[in-house]
Structure 1
Amino acid sequence: MLAAQTANYYANQGHTVDHLVLIGSPIDATFLDKLRKHRHIGKVVVIDLTVHGDPIYAGISQLALAAATPQLAHQMSAGNGEGHFYYAHMVPDLPRRLQALAARVVAEGVR
């Protein structure tokens, strides 16, 4: 979410944002649409982690985000790199996960 807010701020100041990459971002649909349409933001890349059990996704409503809090707390305290914390916890296959993420971001045009 911080990346989206920062990109929006700089784009509103007239700066060009070539790529905005949102990973597991709880951005609401209205703000996401605004970013995608902003004339100073080139490409918005959304990488949701729902396939890994993350209850948060781009376009989520505030109500759904609040409802996800218990599941997020469980995922964070478990510390086993699942769901929203797929890239955050030190697990044996974290290097493979990060390499796959880097390859995906590069494939989207980020250099």
Structure 2
Amino acid sequence: MAYLLWFGIVALVFALLHYLTELSGKQKGIISLILALCVAGAIAYNIQSDRDRSKVRAIELKYQQGETLVCRGIEVNATTFDYSVGTQSFVGNRGTKHYQQIINARECQ
């Protein structure tokens, strides 16, 4: 719904450009196209960010439930790695062969 609002704003800007400025039709079209592309780019970025957050949340949930994840070919679980919420990464536990190794949660399956 919010996305439609942004396209409505672009249409409103186009209408204002059309009726309240002395720009040529080509200039108005270019300005409207640039605004529409900026809005479309922001929408695409938000959609991609939502997908990325969902993936990381799913990985974090599996880790918290005690499942073993595979990240860069390494088995990650609560006995070998700790999870850092701030960096969304796994850090190797002391006493394991992965001690201080850092793996980004986005690299897991």
Which gives a bigger RCO, structure 1 or 2 (Cα 8 Å, sep 6+)? 1
Greater CA radius of gyration, 1 or 2? 2
Specify which structure has the higher proportion of helix: 2
TM-score interval (norm. to shorter) = under 0.3
Per the normalisation by structure 1, the TM-score is 0.21
